[in-house]
């Protein structure tokens, strides 16, 4: 018996020790960790001057730069997050910001900015010295990065931001935000990940408000009001409620007024290749019916310095006005060998073009300017848009209609930035033709109905209907295929009947393109023509009418079968 008792005691002790050990492991496993997270690592701070950005429930990879107590944001991020109208001229070292009536001008590195108002506008905004660099660059050449003071962006952009410390971080708020609101019901912690052992981002107490981002079984993803995004146990907050986070406007966005007409526009381009060509206005208009705008091809970029040539005369304008027509004169970039990027990327050159156009407009008495730049590269795109913004200031100040010609929009020509055009221009004209074009070696319609529909539909996604004009072709292409060789010729509408007669005159209606289609074989050569006539034009006009757009344009006067004006005038007058 004496031997049994020690053995029992030993067994009990072993069990007790094992229980204590097991209990300790269980306590360690299920107890809450008090470890605080490394916030520099959490926010991705790799440099003491970096300031993280929180935006709509996300930590952005983009960081602000803290320089001498001021916060700066790189220009690409300014465009992406806040305001795309800030423009960097890295050729002449300017930061520009255009409004409907003025242009803010800051020399890179300077603490002040000046205001250049459009001719005819009284100054409503004064320039000022902010006492810190408004902008500066880091790096050189193509790798240079422009930084803009966040407070300067804030002066001209409707958003709010809140700065928090330890570590310094900023929450951006650009619009009202609907969110799910919860309140903490027990002192707890928001952790880096779901789990009691995950490091703590922020301790929260009963009554603290949280933004619920994602609710899960045991843990939920939340955002604290001071910018921590992490996880809290579901049992530590109460009922979910709907709430709205409203921002207080800090900047009154100026209105882009437009000179759009209450009635449909009916425009015809008039090709004028020299001053003497102005005398052909009577011939060009001899058959027209329902036209209210004539657009002569008067102005051309002539060189990379921003000079233009002009065929404008006041006499032409007087003749047009006496016939009840407005005159929107064209400026193009393709008549002469000009590099759009080289011209438009310099502020001084853009100013030279604009000043020349406004002077010509005043001297001749025209009613508007029609921009037809068809060689804009991806590289030149941002500079082209800035040119339109700056030109729109002067057009607005001088009561001139600004219209802009565009290809049918696709991803490959997005550098034309139709949404920005829709903001600053009075009319966006879609050149609804050249779906298959001269010299392409690809036989097909110049303007099938699906192509026209695409152009209108895509443009209407970002441009008000009353600002959209669809341009129609008064021509087609005769395609000839011999073996693997494809050749072609333009055929004007007025000459189509003769061509059809020479090719045998047999054509049928093609429901796919909504055009009369002719195909024949002559001497081993296949001829194909998708005709543009009153029937095809009527179908296109029906689509335009259904979309309630601002009007019609035709390329070009002199190409038409006179009968076409009946369907065009019926559309424009309806």
What is the Cα–Cα distance from 172 to 163, expressed in whole angstroms? Answer: 9
Q: Of residues 25 and 295, which shows the higher confidence score?
A: 295
Residues shown for the chain? 574
Backbone angles phi, psi at 380, to 5 degrees: -85, -10
Query: How many other C-beta atoms can be found within 10 angstroms of the C-beta atom of residue 183?
Result: 15
Q: Is the pLDDT of residue 123 over 60?
A: no
**Using an 8 Å Cβ cutoff, are 450 and 543 in contact?**
no
CA dist 432 and 268 (Å) reads: 14
Among 16-25, 156-165, 416-425, 479-488, whose mean pLDDT is lowest? Answer: 16-25
Whether the predicted pLDDT of 25 surpasses 80: no
The 3-class SS string of 316-377 reads HHHHHHHCCCEEEEEEECCCCCCCHHHHHCCHHHHHHHHHHHHHHHHHHCCCEEEEECCCCC
Complete domains list, the chain, with CATH = 42-171 (no CATH), 176-245 (2.30.30.40), 265-471+532-573 (3.20.20.80)
Q: In the predicted model, what is the mean pLDDT of residues 536-540? A: 98
Instruction: Label residue 118 by pLDDT band (50, 70, 90).
Output: confident
Buried b (16+ CB within 10 A) or exposed e, 209-236: ebbbbeeeeebbbbbbeebbbbbbbeeb
Percent of the chain with pLDDT over 90: 90
Q: Which two tokens stand for residue 539?
A: 């179908």
Residue 103: pLDDT over 90: yes
CB of 109 closer than 8 Å to CB of 202: no
| CA distances, 278 to each of 296, 311, 321, 334, 364 (Å) | 8, 8, 14, 20, 13
Mean pLDDT value of segment 504-518: 96
Please report how many Cα atoms fall inside a 13 Å half-sphere around the Cα of residue 571, on the Cβ side: 30
Q: Do the Cβ atoms of 108 and 139 come closer than 8 Å?
A: no
Q: Name the band, by pLDDT with cuts 50, 70 and 90, for residue 145.
A: very high
- What DSSP element (H or E) covers 116? strand 112-117
Q: Does the pLDDT at position 26 exceed 50?
A: no
Q: Tokens for 157?
A: 């952009």
pLDDT of residue 117: 84
Helix (H, G, I), strand (E, B) or coil at 552: strand
Specify the residue for token string 């802009």: 404
Whether residue 30 has pLDDT greater than 90: no
Question: Is 419 in a helix, a strand, or coil?
Answer: helix
Integer CA distances (angstroms), 127 to 105, 387, 569, in order: 9, 22, 50
């Amino acid at each position: 018996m004496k031997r049994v008792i020690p053995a029992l005691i030993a067994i009990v002790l072993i069990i007790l020790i094992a229980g204590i050990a097991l209990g300790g492991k269980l306590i360690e496993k299920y107890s809450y960790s008090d470890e605080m997270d490394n916030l520099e690592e959490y926010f991705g701070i790799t440099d003491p001057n970096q300031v993280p950005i929180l935006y709509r429930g996300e930590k952005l990879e983009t960081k602000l730069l803290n320089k001498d107590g001021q916060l700066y944001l790189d220009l690409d991020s300014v465009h992406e997050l806040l305001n795309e109208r800030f423009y960097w001229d890295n050729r002449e070292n300017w930061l520009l910001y255009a409004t409907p009536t003025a242009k803010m001008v800051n020399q890179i590195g300077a603490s002040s900015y000046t205001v250049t108002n459009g001719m005819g506008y009284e100054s409503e905004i004064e320039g000022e010295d902010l006492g810190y660099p408004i902008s500066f660059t880091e790096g050189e050449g193509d790798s240079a990065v422009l930084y803009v003071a966040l407070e300067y962006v804030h002066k001209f952009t409707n958003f709010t931001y809140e700065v928090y410390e330890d570590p310094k971080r900023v929450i951006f708020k650009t619009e009202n935000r609907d969110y799910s609101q919860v309140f903490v019901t027990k002192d707890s912690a928001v952790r880096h990940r779901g789990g009691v052992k995950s490091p703590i981002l922020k301790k929260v107490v009963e009554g603290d408000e949280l933004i619920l981002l994602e609710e899960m079984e045991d843990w939920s993803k939340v955002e604290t009001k001071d910018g921590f995004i992490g996880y809290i146990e579901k049992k530590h907050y109460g009922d979910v409620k709907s709430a709205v986070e409203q921002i207080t406007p800090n900047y009154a966005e100026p209105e882009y007024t437009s000179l759009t007409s209450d009635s449909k526009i009916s425009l015809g381009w008039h090709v004028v290749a020299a001053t003497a060509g102005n005398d052909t206005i009577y011939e060009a208009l001899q058959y027209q019916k329902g036209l209210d705008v004539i657009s002569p091809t008067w102005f051309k970029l002539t060189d990379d310095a921003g000079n233009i040539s002009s065929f404008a005369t006041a006499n032409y304008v007087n003749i047009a006005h006496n016939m009840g027509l407005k005159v929107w004169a064209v400026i193009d970039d393709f008549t002469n060998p000009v590099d759009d990027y080289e011209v438009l990327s310099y502020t001084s050159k853009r100013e030279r073009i604009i000043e020349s156009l406004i002077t010509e407009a005043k001297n001749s008495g025209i009613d508007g300017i029609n921009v037809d730049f068809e060689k804009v590269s991806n590289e030149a795109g941002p500079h082209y848009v800035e040119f339109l913004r700056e030109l729109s200031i002067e057009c607005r100040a001088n009561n001139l209609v600004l219209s802009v010609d565009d290809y049918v929009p696709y991803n490959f020509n997005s550098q034309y930035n139709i949404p920005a055009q829709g903001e600053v221009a009075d009319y966006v004209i879609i050149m609804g033709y050249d779906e298959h074009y001269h010299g392409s070696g690809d036989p097909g319609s110049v303007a099938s109905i699906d192509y026209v529909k695409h152009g209108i539909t895509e443009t209407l996604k970002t441009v008000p209907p009353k600002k959209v004009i669809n341009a129609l072709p008064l021509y087609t292409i005769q395609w000839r295929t011999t073996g693997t060789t494809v050749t072609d010729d333009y055929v004007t509408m007025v000459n189509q009947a003769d061509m059809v007669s020479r090719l045998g005159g047999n054509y049928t209606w093609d429901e796919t393109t909504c055009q009369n289609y002719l195909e024949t074989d002559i001497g081993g050569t296949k001829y194909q023509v998708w005709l543009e006539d009153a029937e095809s034009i009527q179908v296109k006009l029906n689509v335009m009418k259904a979309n309630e757009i601002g009007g019609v344009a035709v390329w070009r006067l002199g190409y038409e079968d006179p009968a076409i004006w009946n369907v065009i005038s019926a559309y424009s007058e309806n």
